[in-house]
Amino acid sequence: MTWLKGFISSERYRTSGKNKAVKEYILSFPGVDDLRKASLLVGRSIEYRRGELRIRGRIVATHGVRGGVRARFRKGLPGNLGDGRVYLQLDAELLKALRLETPSS
């Protein structure tokens, strides 16, 4: 299984009257620099890793025109994100569509 390393750009505060949990984040991935490539990632599985901690999530939408994506995790990430990274699960079809030669896993 091949994974592409991504980075958390910012938290996205979507709250309601009762729910203040932050589960949505804006992510960026190297090699994904436009809206067309970002739209190929919608619906893909992602995973936040930091030491032994693993939190799974899914990419739900694109964000802007420069390749950012919005991701929703099953539970909120730690407040101190530290050196934790987000990994996107890649397959051969997605590698070909994104034209990535060497994944960064």
Q: Cα 5 to chain center, whole Å?
A: 9
The two three-digit tokens of residue 29, written as one number: 């991935």
pLDDT digits (tens, 9 = 90+) for 33-85: 889 999 999 999 999 988 888 999 999 999 989 999 999 998 888 877 766 68
pLDDT of amino acid 14: 65
The two three-digit tokens of residue 26, written as one number: 């804006």
pTM: 0.82
pLDDT of amino acid 60: 94
User: What average pLDDT score do residues 18-37 get?
Assistant: 84
CATH architecture of 2-94: Beta Barrel (2.40)
* pLDDT band at 104; cut points 50, 70, 90: low
pLDDT digits (tens, 9 = 90+) for 3-21: 888 988 887 666 677 776 6
pLDDT of amino acid 76: 81
How many of the other CB atoms lie within 10 Å of CB of 101?
7
For residues 70 and 60, the answer to whether their CB atoms sit within 8 Å is yes
Domain ranges for the chain: 2-94
- Ramachandran quadrant class, 55 (left: phi over 0; alpha: psi -120 to 50; beta: rest): beta
